[in-house]
Amino acid sequence: MSAMRFVLISGLSGAGKSTALRALDDAGFFVTDNLPPALWLELYERAEQSGIHRLAVSTDARAHLFFGEMEAQLEALFQKTPAQLIFLEASTEVLLQRYNLTRRVHPLGDNSLFMDFRREHEILAPLRARADVVIDTTTLETKALVERVTSSLLLEQEFSLGVSSFGFKHAPPRDSDLVLDVRGLPNPYYNLDLRYHTGLEQHVVDYIFTPATQEFYAGLREYVRSSANLARLSGRRTYSVAIGCTGGRHRSVAVAERLARELSDLGARVTDHRDIEKVER
């Protein structure tokens, strides 16, 4: 088996492929943007001959005229290397906002943006179906997207459990495997001495994890362990759990941090505290 790390990046226009490619470039990958499928295997072989150990290729709707041969090229590539395919997407509403903000022209640009988005979904459906990792960037800022991309690659030969926190009032994440609600725990928001602190601080943690809440937390932890183990046994390499409270600043943060520590045997790590900086007055 070749030691070459080969990553394919695809996804919807405006979903963050450029950010993902920059992250891979920073991680030491040789990066090529929008290469037609017929050239993937040739590039892989040339890179291998040149001693390149990390290679990333982006492809998207701009290359749709070459997609008729994509399935055959994917099969040929996968016979040579355990390539990983990452697909990025976002909601139509957010993609529309991003296009309106940047005033870019959609690469399919034949009709209205809504029609272009619909056609792009259809063109890229085969790639999304084959993706090892699908990342929804609807609510992700640049830093969080970079973390999501790199974490999906660094432990790809091992099982990893990603734990994140969020606030329900800011909408649940759309790309987590499991979303859990911890709004029943004591809420530090109503304690003025704790309101402007976070679940990363010990006095907030002590307020949340009282003797009365330990049983609830223990049950939640074992549920996460069981769910992650089932995913691992089914052949999954990654599994993601999002912990939610009302605002995403106290309870969900504390629970996510504790889960990551106590489930370290499953490769657990905190991937994002999405709403921790959103302070309510």
How many other CB atoms are found less than 10 A from the CB of residue 50? 8
Kindly state the DSSP code that residue 174 receives in the 8-state scheme.
Answer: S
The answer, yes or no, to whether residue 50 has pLDDT greater than 80, is yes
211-246 pLDDT, tens digit per residue, is 999 999 999 999 999 999 998 887 677 899 999 999
Q: Which domains does the chain have, with CATH numbers?
A: 5-154 (3.40.50.300), 160-273 (no CATH)
- Token readout for 90 is 């976002």
Token pair recorded at residue 44: 């892989």
Two structure tokens written together for 227: 């769910």
Given strand 5-11, what is the order of strands in its sheet?
A: 30-33, 54-58, 5-11, 84-89, 133-136
99-127 pLDDT, tens digit each: 877 667 777 776 677 888 888 888 888 88
Residue 1 predicted with pLDDT over 60: no
In angstroms, the CA 273 to CA 144 distance is 9
pLDDT at 69: 75
Is residue 95 within 8 A of residue 18, CB to CB? The reply is no
* The pLDDT of residue 154: 60
Query: pLDDT tens for residues 59-79?
Result: 888 887 778 777 888 888 888
Nearest Cα neighbor of 120 from 170, 59, 176, 72 is 59
DSSP E strands: which ranges in 138-237?
A: 160-167, 178-181
Asked whether residue 166 carries a pLDDT value surpassing 70, the answer given is: yes
Residue 155 is predicted with a pLDDT of 39
Q: To the nearest whole number, what is the mean pLDDT of the chain? A: 88
The pTM of the full predicted model, rounded to 2 decimals, is: 0.55
CA within 13 Å, CB half, 231: 22
What is the residue whose two structure tokens read 């005033």?
103
- Helices 40-49 & 70-80, crossing angle to 10 degrees? 30
User: Cα 92 to chain center, whole Å?
Assistant: 18
Query: Residue 115: which residues within 8 A CB-CB, separation 6 or more?
Result: none
* Residue type present at position 45: E
